[in-house]
Amino acid sequence: MTSKDAAKESEKRDARAGDARAGDARAEVHRLADALRDASIVRLLHEEPQRQDRLAVDAAGIHADFTRHRLPLPALDALLALARAVDLEGQRNAMFDGAAVNFTERRPALHVALRRPQGAGGASDPIASEVARTLERMFDFAEAVRDGRRRASGGERIASVVHVGIGGSHLGPQLACEALAHEADGPQLRFLSNVDPDSFARATAGLDPRTTLAIVASKSWHTTETARNAQALRRWFAGAGIEGEALQRHFVAVTSNVEAAAGFGLAPDALFPMWDWVGGRYSLWSAIGLPIALSIGASKFRAMLEGAHAMDRHFREAPLEHNAPVLMALVSLWNRLVLDGGTEVVVPYSDALRSLVTYLQQLQMESNGKRIGRDGEPVPWETVPAIWGSTGTDAQHSFFQALHQGTSVHPVDFIVIVPGAADDEHRGRALLANALAQVEALACGRQSDDADPLLAKHRSTPGNRPSSVLLLERLDARSFGALIALYEHKTASLGWLWEIDSFDQWGVELGKVLASDIEPMLDDGANEPQNEPQPAQRTPADGAAVPPHATVQPLIRRIRKALADRDARRAGPPAT
Give, rounded to a whole angstrom, the gap between the first and last alpha carbons of the chain.
93
Q: Which amino acid is it at 93? A: N
Cα 17 to the chain's mean position, in Å? Answer: 35
Cα–Cα dist 125/399, whole Å: 50
Cβ 160 vs Cβ 187: under 8 Å: yes
Using alpha carbons, list the distances in angstroms from residue 317 to 167, 305, 310: 31, 18, 10
What are the DSSP calls for 254-268, one per residue?
EES-HHHHHHTT--G
Buried b (16+ CB within 10 A) or exposed e, 507-524: eeeeeeeeeeebeebeee
Specify the 3-state DSSP secondary structure of 121. Answer: coil
Cα–Cα dist 186/251, whole Å: 17
Cβ 428 vs Cβ 435: under 8 Å: no
Catalytic residue among 366, 370, 410, 499: 366
Does the annotation mark 397 as catalytic? Answer: yes
CA angle (139 as vertex; 101, 352 as ends), nearest 5: 75
Buried b (16+ CB within 10 A) or exposed e, 189-226: bbbbbebeeeebeebbeebebbbbbbbbbbbebebebb
Catalytic residue among 512, 519, 528, 561: 512
Torsion of CA 95, 369, 518, 552, to 10 degrees: 170
Does the annotation mark 219 as catalytic? Answer: no
Does the annotation mark 366 as catalytic? Answer: yes
* Rounded-to-5 percentages of helix, strand, coil across the chain: 55, 10, 35
Catalytic residue among 259, 317, 397, 425: 397
> Nearest to residue 465, comparing CAs of 416, 400, 381?
400
> Residues with catalytic annotation?
366, 397, 512
